[in-house]
Structure 1
Amino acid sequence: MEEREVRIGKLEQLKAMGIDPYGKVLRNIEPIAKIRQAADGDTCSTMARVTNIRQHGKLTFADLKDFTGKLQLSFRKDALGDKYDFLKKFIDVGDVIYVTGSMYHTGRGELTLDVMDFVLQSKCLRPLPEKWHGVRDPEVRYRQRYLDLIIDDDSKERFRKRSAMIKAIRELLWDKGFVEVETPILQPIPSGASARPFVTHHNALDIDLYLRIAPELYLKRLVVGGIHRVFELGKNFRNEGIDQNHNPEFTMLELYQTPGDYEDMMQVAEDIIMAAASVCDNNGSINFKGMDVHFERPFERITFKDAFRKYANLEWDDINTLEKTTAIIKDKGLEMTKTSTWANAIQKLFDELVQPNLINPTFVIDYPVAISPLAKRKTDEPDFVYRFELFVAGMEMGNAFSELQDPFDQKSRFEEQMKLKESGEEEVILMDEDFVTALEYGLPPTGGLGIGIDRLIMLLTESENIKDVILFPTLRPKVEEATETIESTN
Structure 2
Amino acid sequence: MDSKVAEWRKLLQTLRGAGIEPYPHAFQVSHPIKTLGELRRQALLDAWLGLRIRTAGRATDIRRHPNVVFIDLYEDGTRFQAMVDPKEPLLEHIWRGDYVGVEGIIVKTQRGDYAVKAEGLYLLSKAVQSLPEWGKADRESPFYMRHRAVAMILDPTLRWRIYTRARLIQAFREAMWRRGFVEIPTPVLQPIYGGAAARPFITKIWAIDEEWYLRISPELYLKRYIIAGFPKVFEIGPQFRNEDIDALHNPEFWSLEAYQAYADYNDMMKLMEETTYEALTSVLGTPIVKYGDTTINFSPGWRRITLTDALREYGGFDPDKATDDQLKDKLKELQVPLKTYSRGLALVKLFEKLAEKHLIQPTFVVDYPEESTPLCKPHRAKPGLVERFEAFAGGHEIANAYTELNDPVKQYEFFKREEELFPKDEAHPLDYDFVEDLSFGMPPTGGIGIGIDRLAMIVTGAESIKDVIPFPIVARRALPEDVEK
TM-score (normalizing by structure 2): 0.92
Deviation string, structure 1 residues 264-308 (Cα, Å, up to 9, x no partner)? 111111122223322554743333243332223211111112111
1:479 Cα shift? 8.6
User: Could you say what secondary structure the match of 2:151 adopts?
Assistant: helix
Instruction: Report the Cα distance in structure 2 between the residues aligned to 1:161 and 1:395, rounded to whole angstroms.
Output: 19
Count of aligned positions: 474
Letter in 2 for 1:473: P
Instruction: Report the Cα distance in structure 1 between the residues aligned to 2:206 and 2:409, rounded to whole angstroms.
Output: 35
Instruction: Report the Cα distance in structure 1 between the residues aligned to 2:33 and 2:140, rounded to whole angstroms.
Output: 29
Q: Spell out the pairing of 1:409-488 with structure 2 (5 A cutoff).
A: 409-421=410-422, 424=423, 426-478=425-477
Contact 1:96 1:120 in 2 (8 A): yes
Contact 1:95 1:123 in 2 (8 A): yes
Contact 1:398 1:450 in 2 (8 A): yes
Deviation string, structure 1 residues 64-106 (Cα, Å, up to 9, x no partner)? 11124111221135xxxx6x1322x111111111122322332
Q: 1:248 to 1:383 in 2, by over 3 A?
A: same
Kindly indicate whether residue 76 of structure 2 is the aligned counterpart of residue 67 of structure 1: yes
Contact 1:52 1:93 in 2 (8 A): yes
Instruction: Report the Cα distance in structure 2 between the residues aligned to 1:21 and 1:444, rounded to whole angstroms.
Output: 62
Residue aligning to 2:256 = 253
Residue aligning to 2:331 = 329
User: Could you say what secondary structure the match of 1:37 adopts?
Assistant: helix
Q: 1:103 to 1:180 in 2, by over 3 A?
A: same
User: Could you say what secondary structure the match of 1:286 adopts?
Assistant: strand
Instruction: Report the Cα distance in structure 2 between the residues aligned to 1:236 and 1:366, rounded to whole angstroms.
Output: 26
Deviation string, structure 1 residues 448-487 (Cα, Å, up to 9, x no partner)? 01001111111111110111111111111149777779xx
Instruction: Report the Cα distance in structure 2 between the residues aligned to 1:189 and 1:478, rounded to whole angstroms.
Output: 31
Letter in 1 for 2:100: I
Q: 1:283 to 1:170 in 2, by over 3 A?
A: closer
Letter in 1 for 2:330: I
Residue aligning to 1:119 = 122
Kindly indicate whether residue 223 of structure 2 is the aligned counterpart of residue 220 of structure 1: yes
Letter in 1 for 2:359: L
User: Could you say what secondary structure the match of 1:63 adopts?
Assistant: strand
User: Could you say what secondary structure the match of 2:474 adopts?
Assistant: coil
1:123 Cα shift? 0.6
Letter in 2 for 1:460: V
Instruction: Report the Cα distance in structure 1 between the residues aligned to 2:385 and 2:26, rounded to whole angstroms.
Output: 63
Q: Spell out the pairing of 1:59-458 with structure 2 (5 A cutoff).
A: 59-76=68-85, 84-87=88-91, 89-281=92-284, 283-319=286-322, 322-330=324-332, 332-421=333-422, 424=423, 426-458=425-457
1:442 Cα shift? 1.1
Instruction: Report the Cα distance in structure 2 between the residues aligned to 1:117 and 1:285, rounded to whole angstroms.
Output: 47
Contact 2:236 2:255 in 1 (8 A): yes
Contact 2:11 2:128 in 1 (8 A): no
Letter in 1 for 2:171: A
Q: 1:367 to 1:356 in 2, by over 3 A?
A: same
Instruction: Report the Cα distance in structure 2 between the residues aligned to 1:425 and 1:346, rounded to whole angstroms.
Output: 22
Q: 1:104 to 1:281 in 2, by over 3 A?
A: farther
Deviation string, structure 1 residues 430-459 (Cα, Å, up to 9, x no partner)? 111111111111111111010011111111
Residue aligning to 2:42 = none
Contact 2:29 2:56 in 1 (8 A): no
Q: 1:113 to 1:3 in 2, by over 3 A?
A: farther
Instruction: Report the Cα distance in structure 2 between the residues aligned to 1:9 and 1:238, rounded to whole angstroms.
Output: 45
1:207 Cα shift? 0.8
Letter in 2 for 1:251: W
Residue aligning to 2:54 = 45
User: Could you say what secondary structure the match of 2:355 adopts?
Assistant: helix
Residue aligning to 1:488 = none
Letter in 2 for 1:277: L
User: Could you say what secondary structure the match of 1:378 adopts?
Assistant: coil
1:9 Cα shift? 4.9
Kindly indicate whether residue 38 of structure 2 is the aligned counterpart of residue 34 of structure 1: no
Instruction: Report the Cα distance in structure 2 between the residues aligned to 1:133 and 1:193, rounded to whole angstroms.
Output: 41
Instruction: Report the Cα distance in structure 1 between the residues aligned to 2:140 and 2:380, rounded to whole angstroms.
Output: 55
Letter in 2 for 1:159: I
Contact 2:77 2:156 in 1 (8 A): no
Contact 2:136 2:154 in 1 (8 A): no
Instruction: Report the Cα distance in structure 1 between the residues aligned to 2:207 and 2:424, rounded to whole angstroms.
Output: 32
Instruction: Report the Cα distance in structure 2 between the residues aligned to 1:246 and 1:35, rounded to whole angstroms.
Output: 40
Q: 1:480 to 1:140 in 2, by over 3 A?
A: closer
Instruction: Report the Cα distance in structure 1 between the residues aligned to 2:139 and 2:165, rounded to whole angstroms.
Output: 23
User: Could you say what secondary structure the match of 2:267 adopts?
Assistant: helix
Q: 1:140 to 1:337 in 2, by over 3 A?
A: farther
Contact 1:338 1:344 in 2 (8 A): no
User: Could you say what secondary structure the match of 1:232 adopts?
Assistant: strand
Instruction: Report the Cα distance in structure 2 between the residues aligned to 1:325 and 1:63, rounded to whole angstroms.
Output: 63
Q: 1:298 to 1:307 in 2, by over 3 A?
A: same
Instruction: Report the Cα distance in structure 2 between the residues aligned to 1:156 and 1:483, rounded to whole angstroms.
Output: 26
Q: 1:130 to 1:232 in 2, by over 3 A?
A: same
Q: 1:29 to 1:139 in 2, by over 3 A?
A: farther
Kindly indicate whether residue 28 of structure 2 is the aligned counterpart of residue 22 of structure 1: no
Instruction: Report the Cα distance in structure 2 between the residues aligned to 1:425 and 1:350, rounded to whole angstroms.
Output: 25
1:161 Cα shift? 1.1
User: Could you say what secondary structure the match of 2:386 adopts?
Assistant: coil
1:8 Cα shift? 5.6
Instruction: Report the Cα distance in structure 1 between the residues aligned to 2:6 and 2:282, rounded to whole angstroms.
Output: 44
Instruction: Report the Cα distance in structure 1 between the residues aligned to 2:464 and 2:53, rounded to whole angstroms.
Output: 39
Letter in 1 for 2:68: L
Same amino acid, percent of matched pairs: 38
1:203 Cα shift? 1.5
Kindly indicate whether residue 63 of structure 2 is the aligned counterpart of residue 54 of structure 1: yes
